[in-house]
Amino acid sequence: MVLEKASPVEERPLKLVDMPDPVAGPGQIRVSVHACGVCHTEIDEIEGRLPPSRYPMVLGHEIVGVVDGLGPGAKTFSEGDRVGIAWINRACGRCSFCASGAENLCDDAGWTGKDADGGYAAYTVVSEDFAYPIPGRFSDVEAAPLLCAGVIGYRALTRSGLDDGGVLGLYGFGASAHIVIQIARYKYPNGKVFVFSRRNREEHRELAARLGAEWIGATEDTPPEKLDCAIDFTPVGETVPHALRNLQKGGRLVINAIRKRTPIPELEYAQHLWHEKELTSVANVTRWDAEEFLPLAAEVPIVPAVEEFLLEAANDALVLLKEGRIQGAAVLRLMGGR
């Protein structure tokens, strides 16, 4: 499924085409794709807020499949190994960011499905250094959302500074948030999780309740207790002042979005930022985030809520995702797999 130009998602711009099978280059592996998650980032790419570096582009960066070819010098994996590929596709390894462990900020980094063809296809190639073994307890479809929604959610939770016994607020309850709540309940059993979700998303609220949210309200609501930290998963700017208003003194808000579709409204200093409140973001992920998170996901174990689509229905999945009508995560399923 190929994107040829920027268009509204509602125009269903991805086209099913035949392309030559990619060939693994030096140090690369070729992966036969069995499943690929559908992410809000793809909506930003399609609609031009985060345009691909070239057209046509094969989107998709939550990829699970098996190695079916090795490029010259590749030796980490063997043919038949099951692997995952995430958003980070490459980094220079030489700059100050890479040297400090912040390869997610590397100016020469590349991103799967944006700078290199991704997983909305039967095959893809990637450097063996940017692929990860998939724990055996997950099916291909279950594992796919772990590669972005899970990994970036884990990074956001880590950056939130949550302690056991603290109150965590989750704004928006989609693919990433429904994984984060499971991590938080496991790692911080004495804490509380409050979920803020639109009133017309009853299925999201029901899922939050099943996964252990102590309180569920709307974005503009005031929770029963102040939040020690919060994560904003929403694609709109209007959420930010609501979350900051509900923070405890010294609290931190982490924005887990690569782009916002609408601007953040003007903030009022005394109400939103005073008392040493912090506002930060997560920008992409590192390999180490994935390497830490995937074994933890198996240990918890994370149980992703998934809605499956065929590859040729990718446009339909994206429209439903934009409308907030996916419960949990949307995943494209290809031939084969488990």
For the domain that residue 317 is a member of, what is the CATH number? 3.90.180.10
pLDDT in tens, 186-235: 999 999 999 999 877 889 999 999 999 999 999 999 999 999 999 999 99
Give the pLDDT band of residue 6 (cuts 50, 70, 90): very high
pLDDT value for 118 = 98
Name the nearest CA neighbour of 91 among 101, 81, 83.
101
The verdict on 11 and 139 lying in the same domain is yes
For the residues 253-258, what does the mean pLDDT come to?
A: 96
For the residues 72-81, what does the mean pLDDT come to?
A: 98
Give the pLDDT band of residue 178 (cuts 50, 70, 90): very high
**How many domains, in total, are found in the chain?**
2
The verdict on 8 and 129 lying in the same domain is yes
The verdict on 162 and 115 lying in the same domain is no
pLDDT value for 335 = 74
The answer to whether the CB of 56 falls within 8 A of the CB of 14 is: no
Average per-residue pLDDT for the chain: 96
The verdict on 214 and 182 lying in the same domain is yes
For the residues 316-333, what does the mean pLDDT come to?
A: 95
The verdict on 15 and 139 lying in the same domain is yes
The verdict on 77 and 156 lying in the same domain is no
Kindly tell me if the per-residue pLDDT of 71 is higher than 70. Answer: yes
Residue 338 covered by a domain: no
CB neighbour class for 293 (10 Å; exposed up to 12, middle 13-18, buried from 19)? buried
CB neighbour class for 139 (10 Å; exposed up to 12, middle 13-18, buried from 19)? middle
The verdict on 243 and 180 lying in the same domain is yes
- The pTM score is 0.94
Kindly tell me if the per-residue pLDDT of 265 is higher than 80. Answer: yes
The answer to whether the CB of 256 falls within 8 A of the CB of 148 is: no
Residue 265 covered by a domain: yes
State the CATH number of the domain containing residue 234: 3.40.50.720
For the residues 119-145, what does the mean pLDDT come to?
A: 98
Tell me the residue range of the domain where 48 lies: 2-148+285-333
For the residues 78-106, what does the mean pLDDT come to?
A: 98
Kindly tell me if the per-residue pLDDT of 279 is higher than 80. Answer: yes
For the residues 124-151, what does the mean pLDDT come to?
A: 97
The answer to whether the CB of 113 falls within 8 A of the CB of 120 is: yes
The verdict on 15 and 31 lying in the same domain is yes
pLDDT value for 199 = 79
The DSSP line for 110-157 is EEBTTTB--SSSSEEEEEGGG-EEPPTTS-HHHHGGGGTHHHHHHHHH
Cα separation of the two ends of the chain: 22
Residue 175 covered by a domain: yes
Kindly tell me if the per-residue pLDDT of 337 is higher than 70. Answer: no
The verdict on 95 and 110 lying in the same domain is yes
The verdict on 170 and 129 lying in the same domain is no
The verdict on 124 and 170 lying in the same domain is no
**Which residue among 281, 301, 322 closes a domain?**
281
Token representation of residue 196: 């803020």
The verdict on 135 and 22 lying in the same domain is yes
∠ CA 124-324-193 to the nearest 5 degrees?
100
For the residues 310-325, what does the mean pLDDT come to?
A: 96
- Of 40-49, 194-203, 301-310, give the lowest mean pLDDT range: 194-203
Kindly tell me if the per-residue pLDDT of 183 is higher than 80. Answer: yes
For the residues 240-254, what does the mean pLDDT come to?
A: 98
Kindly tell me if the per-residue pLDDT of 55 is higher than 90. Answer: yes
pLDDT value for 175 = 94
